[in-house]
């Protein structure tokens, strides 16, 4: 099992959906470790908890296959290759990213990343926007985020409003405890900046891993709010570059935390950023695996998650809007963006090849000037 997830960590390109498809092929079809129904139940249960879904699926499979040691090995073996690759790329970025040559490449990559995020947003929206309540909540969250409201608070607002809308006849009951976790952690970064960069890094990523629902692309909204707007430690361009590195490397997209941690605090920052963002997934799976089937059947929890998912997509849309306004300002960037979007919808090209193609076009556009 460790060898399997180590290999998947080295070869699983294409994001969470592709990762889960690879798991299905390996553990259901080839090895018959799980039945089809077990795999579907596991996938449904994983969608109930925050954090990176494909990583949590690996942890779940490890737990079912080999107990607590399997839980640790499956998760670590899936994360470790991406962490090491991203760490090396972060080192190269720090040493060479400011050179004109790297600038040409990144200028081509940034429009591709925006196209990839928009493509994922549109695909997820079909599943997450379930009628007028979630659509209206999504629109409200979009404008609240652009107005500067903390993303954790708007997630709480989104989940709470849909929950109230669908359950107002039974609203005498208390909200799930998870809602209070959103409130308690909403101001976390501001209180941690004074105790040092490494501590702040760890707890910001820990908070993000503990409350983030939806695609790995929703991570963009949280990182933008904390590191670009709130602390001013990153620029929009550095954040886009970090997301691009997460896309072009195999394994979980959340290893973006490794890249950002290295940019801000070197090797210790890379390690603590990675540990912080993935630690909640190990804790959630180990603590809740016995109760997830019951939660999945709860109409109350389902309604709350409908609102949280809609709010997550709205956050993602708001940040994409901001980035597009900053980086699609010239004809070359817009052409790369449009071509990438067409390739994703029409030909379903793997995002890794698109990002490499964007880098090549960025360099080509420079030499043709």
Share of the chain above pLDDT 90, in %: 17
Helix (H, G, I), strand (E, B) or coil at 1: coil
pLDDT in tens, 267-288: 999 999 999 999 999 998 888 7
Q: What is the DSSP letter of 149?
A: -
One-letter-per-residue 3-state SS of 34-69: CCHHHHHHHHHHHCCCCCCHHHHHHHHHHHHHHHHH
The model's pLDDT over 280-320, given as tens digits with 9 standing for 90+, comes to: 999 988 887 777 666 656 666 777 767 777 787 787 788 78
pTM given for the model: 0.70
pLDDT beyond 50 at 55: yes
What is the chain's mean pLDDT, rounded? 79
What residue spans define the domains of the chain?
Answer: 103-367
Res. 58 pLDDT band, cuts 50 70 90 = very high
Integer-rounded Cα Rg, in Å, for the chain is 20
- CB-CB neighbours of 186 under 10 Å: 19
């Amino acid at each position: 099992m460790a060898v399997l997830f180590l290999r998947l960590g080295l070869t699983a390109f294409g994001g969470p959906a592709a990762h889960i498809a690879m798991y299905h092929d390996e553990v259901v079809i080839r090895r018959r470790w799980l039945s089809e129904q077990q795999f579907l139940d596991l996938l449904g249960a994983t969608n109930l908890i925050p954090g990176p879904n494909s990583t949590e699926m690996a942890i779940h499979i490890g737990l079912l296959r080999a107990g607590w040691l399997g839980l640790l090995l499956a998760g670590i073996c899936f994360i470790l290759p991406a962490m090491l690759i991203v760490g090396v790329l972060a080192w190269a970025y720090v040493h060479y990213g400011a050179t004109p040559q790297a600038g040409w490449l990144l200028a081509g990559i940034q429009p591709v990343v925006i196209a990839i995020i928009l493509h994922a947003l549109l695909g997820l929206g079909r599943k997450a926007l379930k009628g007028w309540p979630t659509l209206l909540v999504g629109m409200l969250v979009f404008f609240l985020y652009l107005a500067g409201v903390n993303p954790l608070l708007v997630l709480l607002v989104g989940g709470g409003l849909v929950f109230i809308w669908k359950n107002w006849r039974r609203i005498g009951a208390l909200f799930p405890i998870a809602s209070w976790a959103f409130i308690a952690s909403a101001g976390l970064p501001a209180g941690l900046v004074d105790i040092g960069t490494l501590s702040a890094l760890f707890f910001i990523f820990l908070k993000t891993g503990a409350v983030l629902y939806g695609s790995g692309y929703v991570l963009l909204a949280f990182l933008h709010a904390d590191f670009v707007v709130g602390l001013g430690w990153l620029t929009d361009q550095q954040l886009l570059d970090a997301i691009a590195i997460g896309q072009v490397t195999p394994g979980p997209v959340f290893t973006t935390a490794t890249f950002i941690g290295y940019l801000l605090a070197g090797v210790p920052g890379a390690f603590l950023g990675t540990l912080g963002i993935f630690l909640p997934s190990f804790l959630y799976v180990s603590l809740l695996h016995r109760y997830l089937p019951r939660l999945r059947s709860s109409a109350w929890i389902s309604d709350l998650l409908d609102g949280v998912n809609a709010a997550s997509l709205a956050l993602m849309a708001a940040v994409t809007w901001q980035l597009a306004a900053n980086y699609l300002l010239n004809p070359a960037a817009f052409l790369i963006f449009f071509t990438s979007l067409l390739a994703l919808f029409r030909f379903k090209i793997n995002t890794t090849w698109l990002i490499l193609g964007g880098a090549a076009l960025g360099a080509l556009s420079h030499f043709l000037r």
